[in-house]
Amino acid sequence: MTNDRSDEATTAEVPLRRAAPAAGTAPRNESAGEAPDERAGAAPDERVGAGKGSSERPIRGSAARPGQGSQALRELLDRARQESARGGNGAKAKTKSEQRGASQRVAQRVARRTVGKLVSGTSVNTQPVPIITALKGTPYQAPVQASEPSEDEARMVLDLAADIAAIMMRAGAGSSDVEVSVIAACTACGLATVEVDLTSNTLVVHYSTSDGRLLTVMRVNRGESTHYAKLASVHKLVSDLVDGTLGFHEARNRLDAIRSQRRPFQEWFVTAAWGLLVGSVVLLLGGGLVAIGLGVVMALLVFELGKYIGRTSLPPFFITVIQAAVATLIAMAAWNFDLVDAPQYLVAAGVVLLLPTQALFSAVQDALTNFPLTAAGRIIGVFMSFAGIISGLAIGLVCGRAIGLDPIEVLVPRTNIHVVAAIITMAAAAIVAMAGAVGMQATRRFILPAAFVGLASHITMMTLTLLDVDNVLASLLSATVAGFLSRPLALRLGAPAIVLTIPAIYTLLQGLAIFTAVYQIVAESDTTSFAVGLSALFTAIVANAALAVGAVLGGYLSRPLQRKKAKADTAAEEARGPESARGPDTVRGA
């Protein structure tokens, strides 16, 4: 509000300024309406001049009407309020314009970010692999956090990780297991981010130091030599690195020892194990004692023949063709000499021996774990192996008929399962799994667990067969049981799941279905045809592929058990106190 004193001072100056020009002029006629401003200015003169003790007089000729001064004061106050209101409206307008400008700037920033995401994508593919995310759900999901090493030490760590991968690839590990082991070894030694590129038989490990130096190592696997004992040793080494109980130099020395690790079984013992596996498969299918003996002899002959021909550097496809043809001719000869009543069991057991079980499992595992190129390469190899088996069976049947051997009766009548027969087949399944573990060069402590897993999967298969479940679905579910049991047992024994999964799957392989389909294709009759045989062959191949899919699925279903065990172990360590906790390891640790 306006101060009263300031108002009085302001109004007192008005008649003084007006009185100056009026001194030498005649007074104006107010009734004529002239000088309306003087009336407005004279009202304060009356008010001020009327004040007590004032020396001012009214201007001559000005009429001072009652209430005219208060009216002028109200007009001045109204004018001041209007000017103040105009100033406030201007400030409000300015504030609104500033708000609109800020909103436009925010909208522009959001639009630029949105367009940038649409152009460049939501993630940058060249960023390093997030270690903890890549190890989630694996046996190495809680690695120690070591300090970052120097450049020379980082190169040594990359060499260690690449050597671990090379040993695993040659020993028969899957691509996902190899990648996880490399990442776990690197992060346990202080390399927080690495790039791992595993394609077919080539591994590239890349790391960028804190100062921008690029380090890259590469390994190429030029051949496989199945050695599950080495896989178990490498798994234990990586586990110790992740737990922090092993330093870099000790890990390097242990890996050098693993590289030269001897096989747990001699070659002759492994050959005998494959013969026992074939004989047990014959028993599992329902063959007699003579058929079992012939199956063992046939397996030994076929296995040694393959090793001998392999020294000539002949491609594996042709070796498989020769082995399948020889097995078929042996079965046809035994049938013509009345040595066996069911020669198809011999051929089926030989097919089980020749099937690329490990390659099929690895191909399916790679396809399901985002290794499409590696899976494609493995699938081609598996396809060639199946083609070799089918071609060999067809050649054997044609050659046998050409030399005068009677064709084999492959249609096996279905019989009821008796208690004694069920017990015998279960024992045969356990023997098949144990022989498979020996043939894969697993150590002795894995033989009985492999028998347990193989027996459980075979019992599942028998139960589903009695319930008239489709063969493909029964194979899938039985293999799922095998994979579900293999993972926790193998991890408890300090080995990857494949050490128990592959031997257990041997009890479920569809060798008889493959031979029956090939026979229907080659030997057409009134009851069989090429189309029927081709359909049966496709079904048999799908059933064998379902075994690999089920084994991988079972491994994934068992992961919650591992997480619960990890939480229990963590709680136990916390209960023991901080003195039991391990500190982070470094590359320099011995």
Domain ranges of the chain: 1-18+41-88, 131-259, 267-566
Give dist(CA 391, CA 386) in Å, integer.
8
CA distances from 163 to 228, 258, 336 (A): 17, 11, 54
Backbone angles phi, psi at 217, to 5 degrees: -130, 155
| Average pLDDT over every residue of 364-372 | 90
Question: Which 3 state secondary structure label does DSSP give 472?
Answer: helix
Count of CA atoms in the C-beta half-sphere (13 A) of 239? 14
Q: Is the pLDDT of residue 5 over 80?
A: no
Q: Tokens 């012939």 appear where?
A: 294
The answer on pLDDT for 179 being more than 50 is yes
**Does 54 have pLDDT greater than 50?**
no
Q: Report residue 413's pLDDT band, with 50, 70 and 90 as the boundaries.
A: low
- Order of strands, sheet of 214-220, starting from the edge strand that comes earlier in the sequence: 195-199, 202-208, 214-220
Tell me what pLDDT residue 117 has.
64
Neighbours of 300 (CB within 10 A): 15
Which pLDDT does position 451 carry in this prediction? Answer: 96
Spatial separation of the C-alpha atoms in residues 302 and 292, rounded to whole Å: 15
Residue 522: per-residue pLDDT: 79
Calpha distance 16→113 (Å, rounded): 70
Query: How far apart (Å, rounded) are the C-alpha atoms in residues 427 and 434?
Result: 11
Residue type, 473: L
Which helix (H) or strand (E) covers residue 386, if one does? Answer: helix 372-402
CB 486 within 8 A of CB 495: no
pLDDT of residue 459 exceeding 60, the answer is yes
H/E element, 98: helix 68-120
Dihedrals φ, ψ of 222, to 5°?
Answer: -100, 10
Angstrom distance (rounded) from CA 204 to CA 242: 21
Token pair of 160, please? 């260690």
Measured between its terminal Cα atoms, the distance across the chain in Å is 86
Taking the C-alpha atoms of residue 415 and residue 208, their distance in angstroms, rounded to an integer, is 66
- pLDDT number for residue 7: 43
- For residues 584 and 383, give the distance between their C-alpha atoms in angstroms, rounded to a whole number: 47
d(CA 383, CA 355): 11
Mean pLDDT of the chain: 79
Other CB atoms within a 10 A radius of the CB of residue 425 amount to 20
Of the chain, the percentage scoring pLDDT greater than 90 comes to 46
| Claim: this prediction has a pTM higher than 0.85 | no
Note whether 316 and 364 are within 8 A (CB): no
CA distance 188 to 142: 10
Residue 128: how many other CB atoms lie within 10 Å: 13
Distance CA 381, CA 389 (A): 13
Confidence of residue 532 (pLDDT cuts 50, 70, 90): confident
- Mutual angle of helices 36-49 and 68-120, in 10-degree steps: 110
Q: Whose CA is closest to 181, among 150, 146, 128, 143? A: 143
Provide the 3-class DSSP secondary structure of residue 201.
coil
CA–CA gap between residue 110 and residue 115 (Å, rounded): 9
Predicted confidence (pLDDT) per residue in 160-169, tens digit: 999 999 999 9
Query: Can you tell me the mean pLDDT for 458-471?
Result: 92
Position with higher pLDDT, 65 vs 175: 175
Flag whether pLDDT at 395 surpasses 90. Answer: yes
The C-alpha atoms of residue 550 and residue 325 are separated, in whole angstroms, by: 31
Q: Say how many C-beta atoms besides its own lie within 10 A of residue 387's C-beta.
A: 13
The amino acid present at 40, given as its one-letter code, is A
Annotate 316-350 with DSSP letters as a single string. Answer: HHHHHHHHHHHHHHHHHHHHHTTS-S-HHHHHHHH
**C-alpha distances in Å from residue 251, one per residue of 148, 153, 176, 512:** 18, 14, 22, 46
Quick one: three-class SS letters along 539-588?
Answer: HHHHHHHHHHHHHHHHHHHCHHHHHHHHHHHHHHHHHHCHHHCCCCCCCC
Contact residues for 290 (Cβ-Cβ < 8 A; gap 6+): 339, 340
- Cα torsion 498, 200, 543, 277: sign: negative
* In the block, residue with structure tokens 């063709």: 321
pLDDT the model gives residue 223 = 83
Position 46 pLDDT exceeds 60? no
How would you class 332 by CB atoms within 10 Å of its CB: exposed for 0-12, middle for 13-18, buried for 19 or more? buried
**Is 199 strand, coil or helix?**
strand
> What does the H/E/C string look like for 497-530?
CHHHHHHHHHHHCCHHHHHHHHHHHHCCCCCCCH
- Residues of the chain above pLDDT 70, percent: 73
For residue 12, what are its two tokens?
């007192």
Q: For residue 74, what pLDDT is reported?
A: 65
Residue 238 to residue 24: CA distance in whole angstroms: 117
Task: Select from 223, 247, 252, 261 the least CA-distant residue to 159.
Answer: 252
Q: Read off the pLDDT of residues 303-317 as tens digits, 9 standing for 90 and up.
A: 999 999 988 889 999
CB proximity list for 283: less than 8 A, separation 6 or greater: 292, 424, 425, 428
Phi, psi dihedrals of residue 204, rounded to the nearest 5°: -125, 125
- Tell me which of 29 and 371 has the higher pLDDT: 371
Provide the residue type at 249 as one letter: H
Asked if 550 and 482 touch (Cβ cutoff 8 Å), the reply is yes
